[in-house]
Chains A and B, each alone.
Chain A
Amino acid sequence: MEGTAAPQTMTTPAHIAGLPPAFYRIGAFVISLILVAFIILISGASPTTVIGSMVSGALGNADQIGRVIATLSPLLLCAAGLVYTFNAGLYNLGVEGQITFGAIAATWVLRLLYPEGATASLLPPPVAIALAILVGGIGGVLWGLLAGALHVYGRISEIFAGLGLNFAATGIAIYLIFGPWKRPGVASLSGTQPFDESLWLGTFGRTEATPVALALGLIALIITIVVMRNTYFGLRLRAVGRNLRAAYVLGVPARRQLLSAFFICGLFAGVAGALQVVGVFHRLIPNISSNLGFLGLLVVMLVNFDPLWILPVAFFFSALNIGSLQLPLSLGLESSLSGVIQGLLVLFALLGRGLAQKYGRKPEG
């Protein structure tokens, strides 16, 4: 694991010695790729075959590209939301719970609008779906603000408030799936009764990708880029993230900024959860968040909290996830290889950044 033996430049003064910072970052990236190849070799497979299988599994046909886009859409929402909490200096590990609670809220609305035994939705399907997405967003906001309130007013680390609420949201989802919302007949881990097809979000042709979800993801990303780069709100958020106390002393309403960050992140994550329900699974399942929240955290860490780079990285990560689903079928390997690759890339990006800061040539003056 400890593959980044740092070049020994410690004895010479930093302003003379040291390679350009980019060298360390690229070097770390290369090491992460070598480690990926090594890990594939350990499992007895060939790296080129595995990568070929993953590429064709992700981009081989329209159906697969559709799945990549179906994963990308909620991922964009989560990553965009996390830009706010990260820039405010918060490690919002509760984003998984916010997705889950958004999905629960959306399922609740759809069950109200299309009760068991009914033959049609009480509202026109497009309105019902829109309402479900909206209420899903509100659900996410509630869950996000709960973590925010625990952090801001209860002095609890946002990491643990968020994690606790993740467990709680999963518990509620499982309770509903096995209890009040169980399928007629047998309750099982496979989730609630699927919704009527009229309540499914429309797709591009016969693929799994839905234009609405993609549009919402892109809109969230664009709003985030604009807010973070061009608004006073974004500036204040960064100020709070850099130094909470200083920002507060200088008159930034720090508590309100922190809660706003939780609010926006919860909103985006909740919408993502609702989209998982109306666009992908068409029912509530125990693992409705599909780790998208944690994947979003990795994406935002890799781009160093800068929203401009989220789209390509999120696309790459989605393609990895979908491509890896091919591995058990074609090569008998575990699909979690995608997680290993993503994790190694982010870990070495962090280490490379640190190496560049420590050993890289400092700018003149």
Chain B
Amino acid sequence: MESGQLLIILATAIASATPLVFACIGETITERAGVINLSAEGTIMLCAMVGFVAAKTADNVWLGFLAAAIVGALIALVVAYGAITLKQSQIAIGFVLALLCSDLSAYLGNPYVRIPGPTVPPRFPIPVLQDIPFIGPLFFREGDVLVYAGYALIAATWFYFYRTRGGLTLRAIGEQPAAAFARGHNVIALRYAYTVIGGALMGIAGAAFSLDFKAGWSYRHTAGYGWIALAIVIFGGWNPLRAALGAYLFGMLQSLANVAQSAIPDMPTQVFTVAPFVLMILVLVLTSSDWLDRLLSYLPVNARRSLSRTLHTAPPAALGRPFEQD
């Protein structure tokens, strides 16, 4: 395989993973604030439909993204209300919304199945950056606006998390809400805000599928991506950089599945479409279990420590628990 071809395959993988980057960053923000938005599967599916229909009706792609973001935020608001205000199980509410929203997308989107609609303008090489050897063609030549927005989102989220006061507070309300409250932060309002922001990003992820990377809409258009996003957040150890890495890795796995498909013609093609999902979850299983620790214990102490620190991650301490403010 020529190196030029390989670059294009890799660049395509990066592009196809972009919607997932939005979803994973959105869920990471939500979970860092201590709330699990388990509705991801339904949110992405419904917002893919809403984004497509809005863009088609208004004949404007960006209005599609706006509509999807609003719907994603509204779904997240239901999760926040049920989980934070009413203190019901976040898992139960999120799961019901996952099913409800995917059925809603099928019911309301029925007249819009498999028709052409507006799409994000393709391929937008960035003038100077695209000429950097290797990195340029890989990251800055084949992508469209959304791919670069994805990069910006990753960088901005990382910077916000680890380099700003607001980010410190965000991490605090997920780890030690009582302490954050004692320091004068309104834990409940902040959790609402971050859940809604995360939901809006998941909504954008949905529209990114239907208006760009899997252009068009049909029932179960984005099937499986919400569950994968939730798994990648764990794989990414609730860190935006690692979550994004996980999303790109998943994109690679999908490209590899396409390559493998042509290499092993006897295998039914449908197996390859499920394979990346299974692999990703297996990786999650291996990295988050204590079997890994046991394996690491055979290594010399120094190597063990640094490896364990890189591989092992813990969820925010207050994840999934309602906060009693009064």
Q: Is the C-beta of B85 less than 8 angstroms from some C-beta in chain A?
A: yes
Distance (Å) between the CB of B313 and the closest chain A CB? 12
- A343 pairs with B100, CB closer than 8 A: yes
By a CB distance below 8 angstroms, the chain B residues around A168 are 278, 281
CA distance A127 to B91 in the complex (A): 42
Contact B82 A336 (CB under 8 A): no
Q: Identify the interface centre among A43, A159, A294: most chain B CB within 10 Å of its CB.
A: A159
- For B281, list chain A residues within 8 Å (CB): 160, 163-164, 167-168
* Given contact pairs A164-B231, A351-B86, A357-B86, A334 touches B268 in the complex (Cβ within 8 A): no
Contact of B88 among A91, A344, A351 (CB under 8 A): A351
Q: From A6, A177, A333, A347, give the contact of B96 (CB < 8 A).
A: A347
Task: Tell whether B262 is near chain A: CB-to-CB under 8 Å.
Answer: no
B residues 80-112 near A (Cβ < 8 Å) are 81-82, 85-89, 91-93, 95-97, 99-104, 106-108, 110
Q: How far is the CA of A42 from the CA of B107 in the complex (A)?
A: 10
A9 to B224, CA, bound (A): 41
Please choose the segment from B122-130, B146-154, B286-294 that sits at the chain A interface, where 4 or more of its residues have CB less than 8 A away.
Answer: B286-294
User: Total A-B pairs in contact (CB under 8 Å)?
Assistant: 155
Q: For the complex, is A346 an interface residue (Cβ under 8 Å from B)? A: yes
Which residues from B are CB-within-8-Å of A346? 96
Chain A residues whose CB sits within 8 angstroms of the CB of B275 once the complex forms: 171
Shortest distance from the beta carbon of B46 to any chain A beta carbon, whole Å:
10
Could you tell me if A333 and B85 are in contact, using CB atoms closer than 8 angstroms?
no
Q: CB-CB < 8 A to B104: which residues of A?
A: 39, 336, 340, 343
A93 touches which of B85, B95, B108 (Cβ 8 Å): B95
Residue of B nearest to A327 (CB): B107
Q: Which of A132-140, A148-156, A310-318 contacts B (4 or more CB under 8 A)?
A: A148-156
Distance between Cα atoms of A154 and B230 in the complex (Å): 18
Contacts of B11 on A, CB cut-off 8 Å?
none
> Which residues of chain B have C-beta atoms less than 8 A from A334's C-beta?
106-107, 110, 219
Size of B's binding interface in residues, CB under 8 A: 50
Contact A178 B270 (CB under 8 A): yes
A1, A2, A157, A286 pick with most chain B CB within 10 angstroms: A1
Which A residue sits closest to B270, measured CB to CB?
A174
Contact B224 A336, beta carbon cutoff 8 Å: no
Please give the distance in Å from B281's CB to the nearest CB on chain A.
3
Q: Tell whether B120 is near chain A: CB-to-CB under 8 Å.
A: no
Q: CB distance B99 to A339 under 8 Å?
A: yes
Does more than half of chain B's interface fall in helix, strand or loop, or is it mixed? helix
Query: A339-360 interface mask toward B, CB cutoff 8 Å, 1 = contact, 0 = none?
Result: 1101110110011011101100
Complex Cα distance, B104 from A358, in Å, reads 29
B253 at the interface (CB under 8 A from A): no
Q: B317 interface residue, CB < 8 Å from A?
A: no
Q: A1-B75, A174-B270 are in contact. Are A354 and B288 (CB under 8 A)?
A: no
A179 at the B interface (CB under 8 A): yes
Determine if A187 and B78 form an interchain contact, defined as CB atoms under 8 angstroms apart: no
Chain A 280-294, CB-CB to B under 8 Å as 1, else 0, gives 000000100000001
Query: Does A31 sit within 8 A of B, measured CB to CB?
Result: no
Does residue B234 face the partner (Cβ distance < 8 Å to A)?
yes
Complex interface: chain B residues within 8 A of A154 (CB): 285, 288-291
**A2-B81, A174-B270 known; A301+B285 contact, CB < 8 A:** no
Please, how many angstroms separate the alpha-carbon atoms of A301 and B82 in the complex? 15
Least CB distance, B290 to chain A, in whole angstroms: 6
Q: Which residues of A contact B99 (CB under 8 A)?
A: 294, 298, 339, 342-343
- How extensive is the interface on chain A, given as a class? 35 or more
- Closest chain B residue, CB of each to CB of A338: B103
Cα–Cα distance between A154 and B289 once the two chains are bound (Å): 5
A230 CB to nearest chain B CB (Å): 27
On chain A, the residues within 8 Å of B227 by CB distance are 163, 167
Q: Any chain B CB within 8 A of the CB of A175?
A: yes
Min distance, Cβ B89 to any Cβ of chain A, angstroms: 8
The minimal Cβ–Cβ distance linking A84 to chain B, given in whole angstroms, is 17
Q: Which of B107, B230, B284, B290 contacts A337 (CB 8 A)?
A: B107
User: Cα distance A114–B308 when bound, in Å?
Assistant: 52
Give Cα distance in the complex from A179 to B95, angstroms. Answer: 33
B289 and A340 form a contact (CB under 8 A): no
In the bound assembly, the distance between CA atoms of A155 and B86 in angstroms comes to: 28
* Chain B residue nearest to A175 in the complex (CB): B271
Whether a CB of chain A sits under 8 angstroms from the CB of B205 is no
A294-B224 Cα distance, complex, nearest whole Å: 14
State whether A333 and B110 are in contact (beta carbons under 8 Å apart), knowing that A154-B285, A350-B88 are contacts in the complex: yes
Judge if A99 is at the interface, Cβ distance under 8 Å: no
0/1 string, B40-84, CB within 8 A of A gives 1: 000000000000000000000000000000000011011001100
- The docked-state distance in angstroms from the alpha carbon of A245 to that of B100 is 34
Report how far A97 CA is from B323 CA in the complex, Å.
34
Interface: A267 (CB within 8 A): no
- CB of B88 within 8 A of CB of A160, answer no
B290 lies within 8 A of A155 (CB): yes
Contact A336 B85 (CB under 8 A): no
Is B277 on the interface with A (CB-CB < 8 A)? yes
Contact A170 B274 (CB under 8 A): yes
Q: Given contacts A171-B271, A339-B99, are A39 and B86 in contact (CB under 8 A)?
A: no
Of A2, A159, A164, which contacts B91 at CB under 8 A? A159
A–B Cβ pairs within 8 angstroms, 26 of them: A2-B81, A42-B108, A43-B107, A91-B92, A93-B95, A150-B285, A150-B289, A153-B289, A160-B285, A163-B231, A164-B231, A164-B281, A171-B271, A294-B99, A298-B99, A334-B110, A337-B103, A338-B103, A339-B102, A339-B103, A339-B106, A342-B99, A343-B96, A343-B97, A343-B103, A355-B86
Known: A1-B77, A43-B110, A174-B270. 8 other contacts (CB 8 A): A39-B107, A156-B289, A175-B268, A333-B110, A336-B106, A340-B100, A350-B82, A351-B86
By Cβ-Cβ distance, the 5 closest A-B pairs, closest first, are A354-B86, A343-B100, A178-B268, A164-B281, A339-B103
Q: Point out residues on A near B: beta carbons under 8 Å.
A: 1-2, 4, 6, 39, 42-43, 91, 93, 150, 153-157, 159-161, 163-164, 167-168, 170-171, 174-175, 177-179, 187, 189, 286, 294, 297-298, 301, 333-334, 336-340, 342-344, 346-347, 350-351, 353-355, 357-358
